Amino acid sequence: MLPIEKYENIQQAIDNLKEWQLRLGLNNWAIKIEFCEPHEFVGDNRDGECEYGLGCKSAVIRILKQQYYGDRLIKYCAERILVHELLHCAWGHLGTNSDGRNRLLHSIQEDMARALICAKYNIDFDWFFNIHYDKEDTA
């Protein structure tokens, strides 16, 4: 079994959300998933986004639709995006007031999301890499 690269429907996404909420201790949160186009995000150049309220333990997680992802070095994986965004809820109390701290926290969340998925599916980190070479490529 491999990570979910693209959710086939909203029910599959909700089922996966519930599974990860339980795994991350967030089962007492009210969380909604939305599949979005780039212009629907609050921030620019994102594959996921999480707007959350710590006091009321609620969140809206936006996941970029696969057709807008493009050709990147890290492959599109909706489950990775979901777990990364859920980590915002789990670690929201850490705050991200400065740009440097925000970048560091996002880097840690991305590493943790991939590590959790690797552990769940017993795969290597390079599963996420989207690096291919043509046999004719020469130096």
Q: How does pLDDT run along the chain (139 residues), one tens digit per residue? A: 999 999 999 999 999 999 999 999 999 999 999 999 999 999 888 999 999 999 999 999 999 999 999 999 999 999 999 999 999 999 888 776 667 777 888 899 999 999 999 999 999 999 999 887 877 766 6
β-partners of residue 59 are 31, 52
Backbone angles phi, psi at 24, to 5 degrees: -100, 5
- pTM comes to 0.91
- The number of residues making up the chain comes to 139
| CA–CA gap between residue 35 and residue 67 (Å, rounded) | 11
Q: Tell me how crowded residue 17 is: count the other CB atoms within 10 A of its CB.
A: 23
Domains and CATH numbers, the chain: 10-128 (1.10.10)
